[in-house]
Structure 1
Amino acid sequence: MTRVLFAVSGSDHWTLNDGTKHPCGYWPEELVVPHKIFRDAGFDITVATPGAVPPTADEAGFAAAANGGSEEPGRRFRAYLETISASLGAPLDLDAADAAEYDLVFVPGGHGPMEDLATSARFGALIGAFTAAGKPVSAVCHGPAAFLPARDAAGGWLFAGRAVTGFSNEEEAAMGFAARAPWLLEDRLGTSGGRYERAGAFEAHVVSDGNLHTGQNPASSAPLAERLVRLSVQGLSFSPAAASRVPRR
């Protein structure tokens, strides 16, 4: 059975560049859709947050405006979250997680990871341990921010030179946050040394490079999770030395 460490932000806010705290957390679609795909595939899922804090859903992610104008997705997301409320209410402490106990790690997005996981040296070290073992690390939308603290032996970004995606500057502007953000994910992934790739705004886009698997936005949640399920069927096998040679798409 494939064991997934489902690493979720524990933050309920994002500090903007004027110091105000924008209420947020994880984006419902980006947690619900991959979780269900993994569960339906028979994966053993462990939800974890920094400090074992029950995670907070961003209420904006339930609104019709965020779901193509329909109220139905938000109702569906709430209903699914209720079915997993026990694990969400008592998550593992992510700071104590051991990469040896899991086959892959997945980080859902939302602005929450920009606040806590993006600056967590402990999580960065955990991602390093997964990578050293050749295990997949994956994240969607703002989730790739959680990989920024991962460092190589020389102190550079662990994934420098790799193809990567995440929420684009255009998408952040469309959401009204580009001018208010302390930093933008597309910019940071690029300046850290990643080869940032993107599709059109809010179009599904998944990029794989070695053991690194990222999705651009909420629409990428399902295709990213489905790719990881296919990898599981293939054995989730990556050698660290060959990681950069694995096909990117």
Structure 2
Amino acid sequence: MSKILAVLTGADHWTLADGTPHPTGFWAEELVAPYRAFTGAGHEVDIATPGGAAPPVDRASLAPEANGGRERAEEVAAALDSIAGLRAPLRLEEIDPADYDAVFYPGGHGPMEDLAVDADSGALLVRALESGLPLGVVCHGPAALLAAVRPDGSNAFAGYRLTGFSNAEEAQAGLADRAKWLLQDRLTGAGADFREGDPWAPHVVVDRNLVTGQNPASSAPLAAELLKLLG
């Protein structure tokens, strides 16, 4: 059995360009599908957030239209309720990645607000990457990679092939024109080799110990690839 650390946002909103707080959090499917895969394979999952704050779920991710119908939406909500770690998360700043066998970041727009600028998260990501820990990041979760800065100012993920929520998907979601910045642009600007797939279709990129997924549909395929790296 391995121990996997899941790092979630503690932000319940994303501040748009005009200062409007857009309600958000983590995207339910992006936690539920990997959590099921990890625990189903016999692994233990700890959950951590900045300050140990209770991670807010994006309510839109629990809507029937986001889950292919009411039955599936109720199933996802029930799955979240069964994850005890969501009610008492660990404090991210106290985490030692050496205590874990893999690290996973789900998305939702929340990471765009807090993890993108969280130095503790950034330091954890640098250590995980450089130590060779399997590292899985999906959808807007790669916003956290922007804080993974080395002492010389370079981004630890510069030169890595990766993906994340694309500009096209943000535009289709109706928020691109209202955002302060777009994830694809910022990752490219940090030196990452961003690989864009078709909007909303599963798309996973593996480069060394880094596994990234583009969107919610990529959550389960990403978990499968992360489990392969765990062996």
TM-score over 0.5 for the alignment?
yes
Compute the TM-score of the two structures, normalised by the length of structure 2. Answer: 0.97
Instruction: Provide, for residues 40-60 of structure 1, a one-character-per-residue CA deviation record: whole Å limited to 9, x for no partner.
Output: 011111011100011111010
Instruction: Provide, for residues 20-78 of structure 1, a one-character-per-residue CA deviation record: whole Å limited to 9, x for no partner.
Output: 1111100000011101110101111101110001111101011122234x122211111
Q: CA deviation at 1:17?
A: 0.5
- Aligned: 1:20 with 2:31: no
Q: Distance in 1 between matches of 2:149 and 2:14?
A: 24
Q: Secondary structure at the match of 2:177?
A: coil
- Asked if the contact 2:135–2:226 (Cα under 8 Å) also holds between the matched residues in 1, the reply is no
Q: CA deviation at 1:130?
A: 1.0
Aligned length: 231
Q: Distance in 2 between matches of 1:88 and 1:67?
A: 21
Q: CA deviation at 1:140?
A: 0.4
Q: CA deviation at 1:213?
A: 1.1
Out of 145, 151, 176, the position equivalent to 2:174 is: 176
Q: Distance in 2 between matches of 1:132 and 1:179?
A: 36
Match of 2:48 in 1: 48
- Aligned: 1:76 with 2:79: no
Q: Distance in 2 between matches of 1:136 and 1:147?
A: 15
Q: Distance in 1 between matches of 2:36 and 2:157?
A: 28
Q: Secondary structure at the match of 1:157?
A: coil
Q: CA deviation at 1:125?
A: 0.7
Q: CA deviation at 1:153?
A: 4.5
Instruction: Provide, for residues 65-121 of structure 1, a one-character-per-residue CA deviation record: whole Å limited to 9, x for no partner.
Output: 2234x122211111101111x211100001111011011110000000000000011
Q: CA deviation at 1:129?
A: 1.1
Paired residues for 1:97-246 under 5 Å: 97-233=95-231
- Asked if the contact 2:26–2:56 (Cα under 8 Å) also holds between the matched residues in 1, the reply is yes
Q: Distance in 2 between matches of 1:3 and 1:212?
A: 17
- Asked if the contact 1:62–1:73 (Cα under 8 Å) also holds between the matched residues in 2, the reply is no
Runs of 4+ in 1 over 6 A off after TM superposition: none
Q: Distance in 1 between matches of 2:76 and 2:160?
A: 33
Q: Distance in 1 between matches of 2:222 and 2:63?
A: 23
The code of the aligned residue for 2:75 comes to R
Compute the TM-score of the two structures, normalised by the length of structure 1. Answer: 0.90
